[in-house]
């Protein structure tokens, strides 16, 4: 049971409502699958540390995106990570055929998801952030709030990033 401490309450509420954001971003930003848990831990630690600085003018999801994206963009793998891996990582669902595929519904979707995740990881980290937000269904305005770019700039940069994604996806499809 979570205590009544407002810090803990807010953190828990964020994870309840938006736990998928750090999870998907750690998958997209980890250099290899083996690093996902470390990066996910790092994102959670940074989110925890950010709770006192949370300003109500930003939506929690925008805030969480910012914190997690900043962590993903600047994260560097080091030997013997400083964060202990004490958070139990969720077991993959039985429907997932591979770790890369994740919990998609059908085999076709799993295959598509595996290719998509690999293609996303092939993108430069900056483009990756835009593509991940677009895949999550965020509009130009929301992406602009998270990144600090103008909406026009988001449009231009996203078009460029999507082109790179389709090239990467073709390459990945040929490889798989």
Partner 1 sequence: MNFEDLQQAWQQDAKNAPLPEVNEALVRSVQANSRKFTRSIFWRDLREVAASFFVAFIFGRIAWAAQAEGTPAWPAWVAAALPLGVAAFFLTDRWVSARRHAPQGDDVLAEIDRAIDAVKHQISLLRNVFWWYILPIGLSVGFLALQIVLYMPTELPPHIALAVKVGLGLLVVVPAWAFDWWVWKINQKAIRVNLAPELAELETRRQEITGEA
Q: What residues between 86 and 145 interact with partner 1 by CB under 8 A?
A: 86-93, 102-105, 109, 112-113, 116, 124-127, 129-130, 134-137, 145
Task: Work out which of 35, 60, 97, 162 binds partner 1, going by CB under 8 A.
Answer: 162
**Size of interface with partner 1, in residues (CB under 8 A):** 72
Footprint of partner 1 on 8-67 (CB under 8 A): 8, 11-12, 15-16, 19-20, 23-24, 41, 44-50, 53-55, 58, 63, 66-67
Pair of tokens at residue 163: 């082109």
C-beta closer to partner 1: residue 32 or 62: 62
Q: What 3-state class would DSSP assign to 22?
A: helix
Distance CA 77, CA 121 (A): 15
C-beta closer to partner 1: residue 32 or 52: 52
Distance CA 134, CA 128 (A): 10
CB of 163 to partner 1, least distance (A): 11
CB of 113 to partner 1, least distance (A): 5
Footprint of partner 1 on 69-88 (CB under 8 A): 69-70, 73-74, 76, 82-84, 86-88
Distance CA 125, CA 108 (A): 27
DSSP for 105-137, please give it: SSHHHHHHHHHHHHHHHHS-HHHHHHHHHHHTT
CB of 81 to partner 1, least distance (A): 10
Token pair 């049971």 is found at 1
Which residue, 20, 55, 11, is CA-closest to 133? 20
């Amino acid at each position: 049971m979570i205590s009544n401490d407002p810090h803990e309450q807010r953190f828990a509420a964020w994870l309840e409502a938006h736990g998928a954001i750090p999870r998907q971003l750690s998958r997209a930003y980890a250099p290899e699958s083996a690093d996902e848990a470390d990066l996910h831990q790092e994102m959670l630690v940074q989110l925890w540390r950010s709770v006192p600085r949370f300003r109500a003018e930003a939506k929690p999801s925008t805030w969480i995106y910012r914190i997690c994206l900043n962590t993903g963009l600047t994260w560097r793998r080091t030997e013997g990570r400083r964060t202990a891996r004490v958070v139990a990582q969720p077991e993959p669902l039985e429907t997932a055929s591979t770790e890369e595929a994740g919990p998609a519904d059908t085999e076709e979707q799993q295959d598509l998801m595996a290719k998509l995740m690999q293609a996303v990881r092939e993108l430069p980290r900056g483009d990756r952030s835009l593509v991940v937000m677009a895949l999550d269904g965020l509009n130009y305005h929301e992406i602009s709030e998270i990144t600090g770019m103008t909406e026009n700039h988001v449009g231009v940069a996203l078009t460029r990033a999507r082109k790179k994604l389709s090239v990467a996806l073709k390459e990945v499809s040929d490889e798989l």
